[in-house]
């Protein structure tokens, strides 16, 4: 456990600390910048973008070698990856706009074709005499552990830029993601906003390509916003929660992988993110599964309690065991099903409310108010005390329940 | 001999097309054609909606009612035609238009609250960085109040009923403080109370001198809600004040066999059936 805590506290050596910080920054940037691709329901475009970087890497290497340079120049390789990924984005956009193909087909085609070309190029490069190609495979799965200081600087700059643009343009991107027709009617250029959303994903992909590789960067773009969605009902907050989840999983994942030999950094980061996703899905208070189950159980209890009291008011026997237990626990009925004193009082109140609703439907013209009757909503939430007083005047004096 | 072109704009050249546009018309389209594939949904339609009144676009299902509205707004591409808003090309007059899309066109599970949606109507006004709090938050609240949804400001939109969702969309359009309101089936699938709330708001807008154009499907309410009707079935079938254009003949021409004579009899159309 101690090596993990050392790594978390950046005490596990210079290299481990650098990797943890760099990965954390990248995770935050990827989580925040991937948000709108998810909200636009195009998360899989990230996958195509990432795979479309590969031919660019290969071509850039070949061109740089042909020009007599060092094929492994990082700036050149990243530029190549950006160009080919952008080409992939434009092709997807074009296919969707100009043909009757659905977006998933366009994504699948671009992903497969570009990745295929990339693999062919990498194979060709392996037969080249340049012979210094050893590094290129790392673009597939990344080489987080081998991070240099300059890599961390690239991430810090590229990531900050992407996060800044996400923050700056959050309004048009939210509008297009939620209601693109309305955005177009207001005069926003929906196509350009969509290209911007894809451009952000592309920027993060290129920035993180060398570290986590094109396969795993996709996970860092998609998992955090999906997990963040469980915690909030507001798009503006999804951005930052997603960034926090991405940053935390990358930082913790890097520390985990530094704490034991043989743990690959990129995959551990993704697994950490997946763990946070599962926790969010199960336990997030806003939309988590557990919260939903609890809400449902509480609702069910309200329904049974109300039905039970109505049965008491009508002097009908209660046969459902759950209803009886519920009322008994609240002291409203005795174990034999007979109402207690407070049970009678509450049943009388509820029965009277029902009759008040009947009157309300007769005298009130606003169907919007009487339409709010659902058996559970207290009448006091819908009508004013004066209005209820008026219903009571028409109803006459209350009659006790159970009084024969 | 040159084959005669169907659109007025094409027929008379650029200058004449513009000259035909009444500068006061809040919305005028000339020679508008929209096609899905090679089947026109709207063909060479001319329309001009009057100012300070409520206009209905009516026609059978698939007649191109919504398509006409969306194409006029540039939400879907036009194959041909020109669109003028208060005599200007629409691109120059976006700020004067508010649009209420069909409720079913968005995902109501989107992470956003009622207040957030209404504030979207202010995005153009405040730009990228302008504050939505303070005075503008008051504007958004007023708009919610006008549609009777002030109590729901912080609800997630998915928790609303269909009618409530439609009111929120209307509040968002109100927030734009526009001069022309374009609504796509605002009464589709809403409860009676919402329908009345919406029509009250729209009539108030008209009284304030605003113009309203709505795609409408319920023929029985055309008379009581609207001043002007535009009948479409791919082509323009008839257009004019309700008293003049909402006639049995025009409805039969527009709806063909899809409108039973008995049904027509129930609509207090001009002339009625013999």
Contacts of B156 in chain A (CB under 8 A): 233
Query: How much is the average pLDDT of B115-127?
Result: 92
Residue A133, pLDDT above cutoff 60 = no
Is B112 in contact with A235 (Cβ distance < 8 A)?
A: yes
Domain boundary residue among A271, A306, A334? A271
Inter-axis angle of helices A190-229 and A149-168, nearest 10:
110
- Domain assignment of residue A169, yes or no: yes
Question: Same structural domain for residues A234 and A308?
Answer: no
- What pLDDT, in 10s, does the model give residues A157-213? 999 999 999 999 999 999 999 999 999 999 999 999 999 999 999 999 999 988 888
Residue A215, pLDDT above cutoff 70 = yes
Which residues, listed in sequence order, are joined to residue B32 by a DSSP beta bridge? B45
Listed in order, strand segments (DSSP E) in A170-326 are none
Contacts of B182 in chain A (CB under 8 A): 185
Question: Same structural domain for residues A338 and A240?
Answer: no
Residue of A nearest to B104 (CA): A179
pLDDT for residue B5: 42
Helices and strands (H and E) in chain B: how many: 11, 10
**Other CB atoms within 10 A of residue A86 CB:** 19
Identify from A42, A176, A185, A286 which residue to disrupt to test chain B contact, counting B C-beta atoms within 10 A and taking the largest count: A185
pLDDT for residue A4: 84
Residue B193, pLDDT above cutoff 80 = yes
CA A340/CA A324 separation, integer angstroms: 12
Residue B107, pLDDT above cutoff 70 = yes
Query: How much is the average pLDDT of A397-403?
Result: 60
Among A235, A366, A368, whose Cβ lies nearest the Cβ of B111?
A: A235
Question: Same structural domain for residues A184 and A113?
Answer: yes
pLDDT for residue A131: 57
Q: How far is CA A157 from the centre of its chain?
A: 25
- Domain assignment of residue A276, yes or no: no
Question: Same structural domain for residues A258 and A343?
Answer: no
Closest CA to A23 of A212, A184, A170: A212
- Per-residue pLDDT band at B4 (split at 50, 70, 90): very low
- Lowest-confidence pick of A63-72, A112-121, A300-309, B165-174: A63-72
What is the average pLDDT score of chain A?
89
Contacts of B194 in chain A (CB under 8 A): 368
Q: Does B75 lie at the interface with A, CB-CB under 8 angstroms?
A: yes
In CATH terms, is domain B26-266 a member of 3.20.20.80?
no
Is A185 in contact with B110 (Cβ distance < 8 A)?
A: no
pLDDT for residue A134: 57
Identify from A165, A233, A367 which residue to disrupt to test chain B contact, counting B C-beta atoms within 10 A and taking the largest count: A233
- Domain assignment of residue A244, yes or no: yes
Contact B96, B140 (CB under 8 A): no
Residue A18, pLDDT above cutoff 80 = yes
Residue B14, pLDDT above cutoff 60 = no
Contacts of B193 in chain A (CB under 8 A): 366-369, 371
- Domain assignment of residue A278, yes or no: no
- Lowest-confidence pick of A129-133, B12-16, B106-110: B12-16
Residue B200, pLDDT above cutoff 70 = yes
Question: Same structural domain for residues A339 and A266?
Answer: no
Among B117, B123, B192, whose Cβ lies nearest the Cβ of A171?
A: B123
Residue B188, pLDDT above cutoff 80 = yes
Question: Same structural domain for residues A94 and A18?
Answer: yes
Contacts of A184 in chain B (CB under 8 A): 73-75
**Other CB atoms within 10 A of residue B84 CB:** 24
Query: How much is the average pLDDT of A337-359?
Result: 88
Q: Is A139 exposed, middle or buried (0-12, 13-18, 19+ CB in 10 A)?
A: buried
Q: Does B36 lie at the interface with A, CB-CB under 8 angstroms?
A: no
**Other CB atoms within 10 A of residue B257 CB:** 7
**Å between A191 CA and nearest CA of chain B:** 11
Is A175 in contact with B120 (Cβ distance < 8 A)?
A: yes
Contacts of B88 in chain A (CB under 8 A): none
- Lowest-confidence pick of A56-65, A129-138, A246-255: A129-138
What residues contact A317, with CB distance under 8 A and at least 6 apart?
A: A311, A337
Which structural domain, as residue segments, surrounds residue A28? 2-271
The size of the A-B interface in CB pairs under 8 A is: 84
Is B124 in contact with A187 (Cβ distance < 8 A)?
A: yes
> ∠ CA A139-A143-A148 to the nearest 5 degrees?
110
User: Got the DSSP string for B97-146?
Assistant: EEEE--GGGS-TTSS-BHHHHHHHTTHHHHTTT---STHHHHHHHHHHHH
Q: How far is CA B262 from the centre of its chain?
A: 29
Residue A374, pLDDT above cutoff 70 = yes
- Domain assignment of residue A28, yes or no: yes
Contact B56, B230 (CB under 8 A): yes
Which residues, numbered 13 to 32 in chain B, qualify as contacts with chain A under a Cβ-Cβ cut-off of 8 Å?
none
Question: Same structural domain for residues A218 and A249?
Answer: yes
Q: Does B194 lie at the interface with A, CB-CB under 8 angstroms?
A: yes
**Other CB atoms within 10 A of residue A155 CB:** 26
Identify from B76, B88, B96, B111 which residue to disrupt to test chain A contact, counting A C-beta atoms within 10 A and taking the largest count: B111
CA B213/CA B112 separation, integer angstroms: 28
- What pLDDT, in 10s, does the model give residues B217-268? 889 899 999 999 999 999 999 999 999 999 888 998 898 876 655 566 566 5
Question: Same structural domain for residues A185 and A332?
Answer: no
- Domain assignment of residue A402, yes or no: no
Domain boundaries, chain B: 26-266
Domain boundary residue among A215, A238, A271? A271
- Overall domain count for chain A: 2
pLDDT for residue B274: 35
- Domain assignment of residue A286, yes or no: no
Domain harbouring A180, CATH code: 1.10.3470.10
Which residues, listed in sequence order, are joined to residue B45 by a DSSP beta bridge? B32
CA A269/CA A246 separation, integer angstroms: 9
- Domain assignment of residue A170, yes or no: yes
Question: Same structural domain for residues A58 and A153?
Answer: yes
């Amino acid at each position: 456990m101690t090596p993990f805590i050392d790594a978390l506290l950046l005490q596990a050596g210079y290299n481990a600390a650098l990797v943890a910080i760099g990965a954390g920054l990248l995770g935050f940037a990827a989580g925040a910048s991937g948000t709108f691709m998810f909200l636009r329901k195009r998360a899989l475009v990230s996958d195509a973008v990432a795979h479309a970087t590969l031919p660019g890497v290969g071509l850039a290497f070949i061109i740089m070698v042909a020009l007599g340079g060092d094929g492994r120049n990082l700036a050149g390789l990243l530029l190549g990856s950006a160009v080919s990924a952008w080409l992939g984005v434009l092709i997807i956009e074009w296919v969707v706009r100009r043909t009757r193909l659905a977006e998933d087909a366009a994504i699948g085609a671009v992903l497969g074709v570009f990745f295929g070309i990339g693999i062919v190029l990498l194979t060709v490069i392996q037969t080249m005499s340049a012979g210094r190609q050893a590094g290129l495979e790392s673009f597939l799965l990344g080489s987080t552990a081998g991070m240099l200081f300059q890599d961390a600087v690239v991430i810090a700059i590229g990531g900050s830029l992407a996060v800044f643009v996400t923050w700056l343009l959050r309004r048009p991107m939210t509008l297009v993601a939620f209601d693109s027709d309305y955005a177009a009617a207001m005069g926003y250029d929906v196509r350009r906003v969509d290209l911007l959303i894809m451009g952000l994903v592309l920027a993060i992909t290129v920035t993180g390509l060398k570290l986590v590789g094109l396969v795993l960067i996709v996970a860092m773009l998609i998992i955090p916003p999906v997990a963040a969605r469980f915690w909030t009902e507001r798009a503006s907050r999804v951005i930052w929660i997603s960034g926090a989840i991405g940053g935390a999983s990358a930082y913790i994942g890097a520390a985990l992988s530094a704490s034991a030999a043989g743990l690959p950094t990129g995959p551990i980061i993704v697994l950490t993110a997946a763990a946070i996703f599962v926790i969010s899905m199960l336990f997030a208070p806003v939309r988590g599964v557990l919260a939903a189950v609890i809400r449902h159980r509480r609702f069910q209890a309200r329904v049974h309690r109300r039905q039970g009291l109505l049965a008491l008011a009508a002097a009908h026997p209660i046969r459902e065991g759950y209803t009886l237990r519920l009322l008994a626990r609240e002291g409203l009925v005795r174990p034999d099903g007979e109402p207690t004193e407070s049970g009678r009082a509450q049943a009388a109140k509820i029965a009277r409310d029902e009759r008040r609703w009947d009157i309300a439907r007769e005298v009130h013209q606003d169907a919007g108010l009487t339409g709010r009757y659902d058996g559970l909503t207290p009448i006091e939430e819908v009508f004013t005390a004066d209005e209820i007083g008026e219903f009571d005047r028409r109803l006459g004096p209350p009659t006790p329940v159970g009084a024969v | 001999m040159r084959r005669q072109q169907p659109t007025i704009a094409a027929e008379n050249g650029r200058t004449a097309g513009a000259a035909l546009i009444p500068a006061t018309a809040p919305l005028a389209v000339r020679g508008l054609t929209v096609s899905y594939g090679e089947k026109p949904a709207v063909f060479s339609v001319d329309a001009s909606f009057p100012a300070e009144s409520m206009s209905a676009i009516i026609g059978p299902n698939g007649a191109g009612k919504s398509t006409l509205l969306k194409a006029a707004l540039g939400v879907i591409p036009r194959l041909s035609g020109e669109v003028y808003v208060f005599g200007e090309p629409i691109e120059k007059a976006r700020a004067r238009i508010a649009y209420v899309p069909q409720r079913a066109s968005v995902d109501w599970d989107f992470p956003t609250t009622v207040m957030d949606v209404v504030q979207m109507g202010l995005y153009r006004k405040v730009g990228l960085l302008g504050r939505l709090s303070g005075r503008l938050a008051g504007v958004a609240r007023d708009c919610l109040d006008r549609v009777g949804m002030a109590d729901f400001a912080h609800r997630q939109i998915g928790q609303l009923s269909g009618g409530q969702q439609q009111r929120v969309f209307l509040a968002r359009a109100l927030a734009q403080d526009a001069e022309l309101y374009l609504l796509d089936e605002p009464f589709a699938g809403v409860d009676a109370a919402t329908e009345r709330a919406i029509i009250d708001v729209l009539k108030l807008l008209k009284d304030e001198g605003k113009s309203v154009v709505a795609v409408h499907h319920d023929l029985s309410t055309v008379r009581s809600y609207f001043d002007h009707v535009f009948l479409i079935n791919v082509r323009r079938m008839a257009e004019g004040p309700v008293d003049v254009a909402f006639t049995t003949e025009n409805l039969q021409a527009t709806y063909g066999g899809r409108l039973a004579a008995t049904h027509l009899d129930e609509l207090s159309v001009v002339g009625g059936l013999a």
